[in-house]
A and B are shown apart, each in its own frame.
Chain A
Amino acid sequence: MPRGAGTRQIEHLLRRAGFGARPDEVDYYGQFSIAHAVEALVNYQDIADDVDMFIGKPGYAGTTVNGVFMPQANITHARQRWLFRMIHTDRPLQEKMTLFWHNHFATGYNKIAGTYGATEGARYLAAKSSEDAGKVRGQIEMLREMALGNFRDMLLAIAKDTAMLVWLDGRTNVRAKPQENFAREIMELFTMGVGNYTEPDVYAGARVFTGWNLAQPGSAADGSRRYEFIYNAAQHETTAKTFSFPIYSDGGRTIPARSAADGMQDGIDLINALAGNPNTGRYLAKKLWRFFVSEFRDPDPAWVERITSTYLQNRYEMKPVVREVLLSSQFWNSSSYWARYAWPVEYVVRAIKDVGWAGFSVDSALTPLSNMGQILYEPPDVAGWDAGETWFATGAMLARMNFASTLTANQKFNLATAVKNANAGKTADGLMSYFLEQVATAPLEGSVRADLRNYLDMTGAWTGTDAQLQAKSSGMVHLLVGSPEYQFV
């Protein structure tokens, strides 16, 4: 396909606001100006959310299951569904933001499954309400629906989320002995960040959320029985709670004593205060910088303040915030290109989009992803993945190189056919320039190009036979996708 000057910008945009670009995505977004392309990405509600319909259909990446595909009840299936969405969605920014929030509100499947069993664990993380007899909306589906929604609403939904109430033990937070886990993390990791709250704030927060527990309504007979949030007034601690930061717009720092019946308002007041605290805006802005703009340089303080004001002025709506991030000059600065270490799922999905998916099952990416250090629905702890250079322990790098091998072995025939169809297989030079164009990497130095070119001559003279094209196409793409320069987005 032709790649004009605008193409490189569109590819940069889609590597960050999506998971790389399929050829049809480059064509679609390539017809727009930058501003229009960003607008199309953030207004994804205008594009049908129909990607799940294509699971199992010819022409798309495959899934592998024993028996029925049940992503709402089987976590391995759920992982495959999410990878499938990342590859084939026409709403790339929605999937990207869902991943951002998954890392932000990082909740791990094992604890939920250990508490309620494997099927229920998958349900509370990955079920869509439309496919659940009890209308359970799993945590990731909730984050996906609210991906560019209102952060305050998201905090409230997370505080009531079944998986979160298990993960951070809110379900056992009772009056006699408040449970600090959720109260600590909502301040430390979900909103303001370390240094902006005190230990007594944690204890007060734990008391605020006493009684935010789980009930089990529904019937076993029709499958609607489920654990869901309940405000348990009898377990709410009703005395006043004082914080070190403002809770109310008049600067008041004390949540007043309330009757047990009205006590749920305590938590709502605290969530409103946390969402509206400028430190929350800054905390999110810095995280968005590292996610979208650059890991190579620290966040520009003026940029952080600007994003924070956008956040506060728009009453915590994330769409204007992310739009501003993607339109900012810092995002488009040439030093931001390729200035982020690819997360394992970003790497895997982009490789599949670049190399091809016909005949490839996303199931075969799951073990490699685990070896690279990222299992969807299983972040290492509530702080999410460490990201950055920590992805690149040697074993993880080897796993990336070996995934490139798995993928290119699977696509060997397709790659050779593509070279032939493009009439690029007559010479070694032709094959090399074809793939350098198809598989974009951070700039390759001359010595690396020379090594790659030399590779094509290593096992004998160029003949252009099908056998040679298959060997050298898969080998070349293996080396490119496994190269250090490909490990950036």
Chain B
Amino acid sequence: MKVTRREFVKGGVAAFTVTFAAPEFLSDLARAQGASKRNLVVLYLSGGNDSLSMVVPYNDGSYYNRRPTIGIPAGQVLQIGTDSSNVALGLHPRLTGLKQIFDQGRLALIQRTGYENQSRSHFLGTDIWSTADPNNSSGLGWVGKYLDSIPLPVDPLIGWNTTGSLPHVLQAGHTAVPAIASPAGYSFSSPNAGAEATAERTTALRISSHVPVDRPEVAFVYGSAQAALGTLDRVATVAQYVPSTTYPNTGFGQALRAVAGAMAKGIGTKVFYVTTGGFDTHSQQNPNATNGAYFNLMATLNDGLIAFYNDLKNQGLLDDTLILSFSEFGRRISENGSGGTDHGSASVMMALGGRVSGGLFGTAPNLTPDPGNPTLENSTADVRYETDFRSVYARVIDNWLGANSVSVLSGNFRKTSLTFI
């Protein structure tokens, strides 16, 4: 995981120095690079999402046999039809907003995504999904590699991470993605006022422009300082954004509000990263009761996404936006003794946006614990993957971001049946 720095050393400080040029110039750059306004919102469901509680195979008797207390009753699910293997599926009852988006044909659910010998470790698993490399998960993030593929110089707001620290998926060789959790708090304060404060800010900006050439670690921090100082004014415009819908007062909801603001103000960002956590539901998962743990996870997810979706629609930005979700693994099929589920394998990815061809992609697992059941693995304890997650990334890179997935992913993972975008 610490490879970023080493990669960065290899990538060269010269490239890094060019990345951070003067702010005025960068605004022009943002405009030039904004020729295509398409953006990608990467959504990480942290902890390992139990997709069997999110997309429920409600006619599969084994689902209820194996989940006697946490199975979601067939009568409660929001039916979304059957997939190509004729399995009837329903969304978690709290996902009413996602159901609307599905019905509008703008939500794609890609079932049984994963990879061979799926890691059941949160950390290794997250690294693998982030790097798109099960064999060497300590390299750069796949989105970071995409950002590195954009010709230099790159605008420092090309990416926007709404969390406090840099997620692995955004780790790049020479592109620093700013972390802006709250646009309103993104300002430079001073112990003094007036001309003295201005002098400090001017000096801080000057200092940060002298990126040291032979000390890459110090240069890395310089890059952060410079990206912060150089983007304050543009980010400040986002804080002025007035959305057309009401976002829930959750971290996730407010992050999406900031993302919508950045899009509406046209500051040139191409990739956003948002996350919502708490999916590591080992005990008392309780997807059925109002205010049960998983029920609340679905509420946070649903309410944030529908506010965002409708806001973008109202602002005429939906056609430029694609949201893609991932989680480090799905969960075990059978519930454990604590009313929860342990770490499992394949899971469901979501893609939604104005140009998404929605529907059910891939096939649901058959949950019958039969040793010959090809949709299961780990002695029928877990769901076996059908679609390599890298094929989903490849589709997004090729058909949405307009880059070359073979070079970004270092391999050809294209799968023509994945026509969701």
- Residues of chain A touching chain B, judged by Cβ–Cβ distance below 8 Å, are 168-169, 172-181, 184, 188-189, 194, 199, 202, 295-296, 339, 341, 370-373, 380-383, 386, 388-398, 401-402, 405-406, 408-409, 412, 442, 445, 447-448, 451-452, 454-455, 458-459, 471, 474-475, 478-479, 482-485, 487-488
Whether the pair B190, A475 counts as a contact (CB closer than 8 A) is yes
CA distance A380 to B44 in the complex (A): 14
Scoring B residues 106 to 129 as 1 if CB is less than 8 Å from chain A, else 0, what string do you get? 000000000000001111100000
Inside 8 A of B280's CB, which chain A residues have their CB? 181
Cβ contact within 8 Å between B283 and A179: yes
Contact: B120 with A199, CB < 8 Å?
A: yes
B338 is an interface residue with CB less than 8 A from chain A:
yes
CB nearest neighbor in A for B200: A475
Q: Which residue of B lies closest to A380 (CB)?
A: B165
Q: State whether B217 touches A341 (Cβ < 8 A).
A: yes
Cross-chain contact B164 with A451 (CB below 8 angstroms):
no
Q: Is the CB of A485 within 8 A of B218?
A: yes
B224 near A459 with CB under 8 A, answer no
Instruction: Show 29 A/B contacts (Cβ-Cβ < 8 Å), sorted by A.
Output: A169-B282, A172-B283, A177-B337, A177-B338, A179-B338, A199-B120, A372-B164, A389-B5, A389-B217, A390-B165, A394-B231, A395-B178, A395-B181, A397-B225, A397-B228, A398-B188, A401-B228, A405-B190, A409-B191, A447-B210, A448-B207, A451-B203, A452-B207, A459-B195, A471-B192, A474-B191, A475-B192, A478-B200, A484-B207
Q: Identify the closest chain B residue to A474 (Cβ).
A: B191
Bound-complex Cα distance A388 to B221 (A):
11
Choice from B121, B191, B210 contacting A184 with Cβ under 8 Å: B121
Residues in A neighbouring B254, C-beta threshold 8 A: none
Verify if B300 is at the interface (C-beta below 8 Å from A): no
On chain B, the residues within 8 Å of A479 by CB distance are 200, 203-204, 207
- Bound together, the chains give a CA A181 to CA B161 distance in angstroms of 29
**Is B212 part of the binding interface, using a Cβ–Cβ cutoff of 8 Å?**
yes
Give the Cβ gap from B225 to chain A, nearest Cβ, in Å: 5
Partner of A383, one of B122, B186, B220, B222: B122
**18 further contact pairs, Cβ within 8 A, besides A386-B165, A389-B220:** A168-B282, A177-B337, A181-B280, A188-B123, A189-B123, A194-B124, A380-B165, A381-B122, A389-B217, A391-B165, A393-B177, A395-B164, A397-B221, A458-B202, A471-B192, A475-B192, A484-B221, A488-B217
A residues within 8 A CB of B121?
184, 188, 194
Tell whether, in the assembled complex, residue B225 and residue A401 are in contact, meaning their CB atoms are under 8 Å apart. yes
The verdict on B185 contacting chain A, using a C-beta distance below 8 Å, is yes
Cα-based distance from A238 to B218 in the complex (angstroms): 55
Contacts across chains A and B counted by CB atoms under 8 Å: 194
Q: How many residues of B contact A (CB 8 A)?
A: 62
B203→A393 contact, CB < 8 A: no
A181 to B227 alpha-carbon distance, docked (Å): 39
User: What is the bound-complex CA distance between A381 and B190, given in angstroms?
Assistant: 34
Give complex CA distance A381, B167 in Å. Answer: 13
Measured CB to CB, the nearest residue on chain B to A174 is: B337
Complex Cα–Cα for A392 and B190 (A): 20
CA of A324 to CA of B122, assembled, Å: 33
In the complex, what's the smallest C-beta–C-beta distance from A168 to chain B, in angstroms? 8
Partner of A474 from B1, B180, B192, B220 at Cβ < 8 Å: B192
- Chain B residues with CB below 8 A from A188, complex form: 121, 123
When the two chains form their complex, are residues A401 and B188 in contact, meaning their CB atoms are under 8 A apart? Answer: yes
Are A393 and B340 touching (Cβ within 8 A)?
Answer: no
Report whether A392 and B342 are in contact in the complex, using a CB–CB cutoff of 8 Å.
no
From B1, B191, B217, give the contact of A296 (CB < 8 A).
B217
| Interface: B54 (CB within 8 A) | no
B202 contacts A373, C-beta separation under 8 Å? no
- Counting CB contacts under 8 A, is B145 at the interface? no
Contacts of B217 in A (CB 8 A): 295-296, 339, 341, 389, 488
Roughly how many angstroms separate A295 CA and B222 CA in the complex, as a whole number? 17
- A475 near B199: Cβ-Cβ < 8 Å: yes
Inter-chain contact A451/B190, CB cutoff 8 Å: no
Residue of B nearest to A447 (CB): B210
Q: With an 8 A cutoff between CB atoms, is B103 at the interface? A: no
A339, B161: Cα distance in complex, Å: 27
A180 lies within 8 A of B342 (CB): yes
Instruction: Kindly state whether residue B176 has any CB partner on chain A within 8 Å.
Output: yes
A483-B220 in contact given A169-B338, A408-B191, A459-B195 (Cβ < 8 Å): no
Given the known interface contacts A395-B228, A396-B165, the answer about A455 and B203 at a Cβ–Cβ threshold of 8 Å is yes
Asked if B1 and A484 sit within 8 Å, CB to CB, the answer is no
> What's the Cα separation between A380 and B167 when bound, in Å?
12
CB distance from B250 to the nearest CB of A (A): 14
Chain A residues, CB < 8 A from B212: 445
- Taking the nearest CB of chain B, how far is it from the CB of A337, in angstroms? 12
**Contacts A445-B212, A447-B210, A478-B190; is A452 near B338 (CB within 8 Å)?**
no
Contact of A393 among B178, B199, B336, B342 (CB under 8 A): B178
Is the C-beta of B390 less than 8 angstroms from some C-beta in chain A? no
For the complex, give the distance between the alpha carbons of A489 and B46 in Å.
31
List CB contacts (< 8 Å) of B122-170 with chain A.
122-124, 161, 164-166
Task: Give the complex CA separation of A372 and B5 in angstroms.
Answer: 20
Distance in angstroms between the alpha carbons of A455 and B195 in the assembled complex = 11
Q: Mark B41-81 against chain A: 1 for CB-CB distance below 8 A, else 0.
A: 00000100000000000000000000000000000000000
Cβ–Cβ contact B190 & A371, under 8 A: no
Q: Which residue of A lies closest to B182 (CB)?
A: A395
* A-contact bits for B75-96, CB 8 A (1 contact / 0 none): 0000000000000000000000
| Bound CA span A442–B218, Å | 9
Q: Which of A175, A402, A475, A484 has the most CB of B within 10 A?
A: A484
Instruction: Bits for B224-240, please: 1 = Cβ < 8 Å to A, else 0.
Output: 11011001000000000
User: For the complex, what is the distance from the CA of A161 to the CA of B123, rounded to whole Å?
Assistant: 23
Q: A395 touching B180 by the CB < 8 A rule?
A: yes
Known: A445-B210, A458-B199. A181 touches B282 (CB 8 A): yes
Per-residue A-contact encoding for B337-352, CB less than 8 Å = 1, 0 else: 1111011000000000
List chain B residues, Cβ under 8 A from A471: 192, 196
Measured in the bound complex, the distance between the Cα atoms of B226 and A394 in whole Å is: 8
Contact in complex: A398, B186 (CB < 8 Å): yes
Kindly state the separation between the CA atoms of A339 and B218 in the bound complex, as whole angstroms. 9
A388 to B220, CA, bound (A): 11
Q: Is B179 an interface residue (CB 8 A)?
A: yes
Instruction: Select from chain A the residue with minimum beta-carbon distance to B281.
Output: A169
CA distance A445 to B4 in the complex (A): 24
Best-surrounded residue of A168, A180, A380, A398 (most CB of chain B within 10 A): A398
Q: Are A455 and B200 in contact (CB under 8 A)?
A: yes
**What are the residues of chain B within 8 A of A383 when measuring CB–CB?**
122-123
